[in-house]
A and B are shown apart, each in its own frame.
Chain A
Amino acid sequence: MAAKTPSMRVLSRYLLKPQAPLHPARRSRPHSRQYSAAAAGARLNVPLEYDSTPLLHHTSKAALANPELPEHIRKGQTKRINLYTAVNEALRHALQTDERVLVFGEDIQFGGVFRCTMNLAADFGTDRVFNTPLSEQGLVGFAIGAAAEGLRPVAEVQFADYVFPAFDQIHNEAAKYRYRSGSTGVNCGGLTIRMPSGSVGHGALYHTQSPEALFTHTPGLRVVVPRSPVQAKGLLLASIKTADPVIFMEPKILYRAAVEQVPVDAYELPLDKAEVLKSGKDVTIISYGTPLYTCSAAIAAAEKDFGCSVELIDLRTIYPWDRETVLNSVKKTGRAIVVHESMMNAGVGAEVAATIQEQAFLRLEAPVKRVAGWATHTGLVFEKIIIPDVTRVYDAIKKTIDY
Chain B
Amino acid sequence: MSFRYSARRLRLQRLSTPCNVSRTVRAPAWQCRGVASTANAEKVLFPGALNSEFTNTLEFLQPSKSKDAISTYRCLNQYGEIIDKSVGADTTDEEALELYKNMVKLSVMDLLMFEAQRQGRLSFYMVSAGEEGISIGSASALHPSDVIFTQYRESGVYLQRGFTLAQFMNQLFANSSDNGLGRNMPVHYGSKELNIHTISSTLATQIPHAAGAAYALKLQNQGTVGRIGAPAEGEEVERVVVCFFGEGAASEGDFHSALNIAATRQVPCIFICRNNGYAISTPTSDQYRGDGIASRGAGYGMTTIRVDGNDIFAVRRAVKSARALALEDGGRPVLVECMAYRVGHHSTSDDSFAYRQRVEVEDWKRRDNPITRLRKWLESRKVWDDAAEKTLRSETRKEVLRAFEEAEKQKKPSLKYAFTDVWEELTEEQKAHVGEMNDILKRYPKEYDFEGYEGGAGGLEELLQKK
Q: Contact residues of A with B, CB < 8 Å?
A: 18-19, 31, 82, 99-100, 109-111, 113-115, 118, 121-122, 126-128, 130-135, 137-151, 153, 158-159, 162, 165, 168-169, 172-173, 176, 178-187, 189, 200, 202-203, 206-207, 219-220, 222, 242-244, 252, 255-256, 272, 320, 323-324
Contact = CB atoms under 8 A, between A and B. Distances in A.
A122 B4 contact: no
Contact of A126 (B30, B178, B215, B256): B30
12 contacts: A99-B226, A113-B15, A130-B265, A135-B260, A141-B258, A148-B197, A148-B213, A149-B212, A181-B197, A182-B181, A182-B190, A184-B198
B428 A320 contact: yes
B118 interface: no
A141 B209 contact: yes
Contacts of B188: 180
B424 A185 contact: no
Range of interface residues on B (Cβ < 8 Å): 35 or more
A141 B205 contact: yes
B28 A203 contact: no
Contacts of B224: 99, 127-128
Interface in B79-112: none
A149 B28 contact: no
**7 shortest A-B CB distances, which residue pairs?**
A141-B208, A138-B257, A145-B212, A150-B228, A145-B209, A149-B216, A182-B181
B25 A110 contact: yes
Interface in B2-19: 4-5, 7-9, 11-19
B11 A138 contact: no
Contact of B423 (A153, A244, A252): A244
B208 A181 contact: no
B238 interface: no
Contact of A179 (B30, B215, B228, B422): B422
A151 B422 contact: no
B436 to A, nearest CB: 11
A245 to B, nearest CB: 9
Contacts of A146: 212-213, 215-216
Contacts of B179: 182-184
Contact of A182 (B19, B31, B178, B264): B178
A155 to B, nearest CB: 9
Contacts of A184: 179-180, 190-192, 198
B421 interface: yes
A159 B265 CA distance: 23
B7 to A, nearest CB: 7
Nearest to B208: A141
A180 B212 contact: no
A7 B9 CA distance: 28
B207 interface: yes
A401 B355 CA distance: 67
B398 interface: no
B264 A132 contact: yes
B151 to A, nearest CB: 14
Given A182-B190, A206-B7, A320-B423, A141 B211 contact: yes
A151 B225 contact: yes
A132 B30 CA distance: 13
B12 A113 contact: yes
Contact of B4 (A111, A127, A162): A162
A114 B428 CA distance: 36
Contacts of B149: 145
Interface in B168-213: 178-184, 188, 190-192, 197-198, 200, 202, 205, 207-213
Contacts of A31: 14, 18
Interface in B344-388: none
A403 to B, nearest CB: 29
A220 B18 CA distance: 40
B226 A141 contact: no
A150 B208 contact: no
A182 B421 contact: yes
